[in-house]
Amino acid sequence: MKKTLFLIALITVMAFSSSSVFAYHLLGGKWASANPVTWYYDSYIGSNAKTAASAGATEWNSVAYSKVKFSNVSAGKLYITEVNDSTADYDGICNMSPNTYAGTYTSGTITFNKAKTTTYNISGALSSVATHEMGHALGLAHSDGKVIMNPYTFGTGSRYGDYKLTTPQSDDIAGIKILYP
């Protein structure tokens, strides 16, 4: 009886992990090296955005994967800025240069949209957005489910509203290990 239960548990774990391990998607572009990805922010952006950007970088650094490290410098390659655009539907967006979807990144920009994020809890929803956008800045594309690359901050099946995620999940980490072996 015990052995049967153990086998069922094992099969359940295997089924769960095989359905999530390969769920990540890649944008197509990547850095030649992601250690370090130097980042900096505009001095004029709100303190909430600054705090969230730092939290997002710390979340990725806490993965403790030696090939990926975000380093805050006075003038780096990944630029964090903020707009206040009530006509846009994004809370954060990431654009990489020269091409988000191909080739080797030489720089990038993450833009927070204050019009959307003004009601966000800094250490929760806003940090979730920052960690998500920094995932894009590494070369990860959107994936569904309980992963930091889930595109939705709020709503049904959302990264933060439903799953309360601010940290990269095992599937997100599997993605960066493929990008930066």
Residues at the site binding Zn ion, with contacts judged by CB under 5 A? 151
Closest CB 142 distance from Zn ion, rounded Å: 5
Kindly tell me which of 103 and 151 has the beta carbon lying closer to Zn ion: 151
**DSSP state at residue 51:** H
Express the helix, strand and coil content of the chain in percent, nearest 5 each. Answer: 35, 20, 40
Closer of 3 and 130 to Zn ion (Cβ): 130
Q: Considering the complex, what minimum distance in angstroms separates the CB of residue 133 from Zn ion?
A: 7
Minimal CB distance residue for Zn ion? 151
In terms of Cα–Cα distance, which of 172, 112, 99, 168 is closest to 140? Answer: 172
Smallest gap, in angstroms, from Cβ of residue 132 to Zn ion?
6
Q: How many CA within 13 A on the CB side of residue 165?
A: 26
For residues 65 and 152, which CB has a smaller minimum distance to Zn ion in the complex?
152
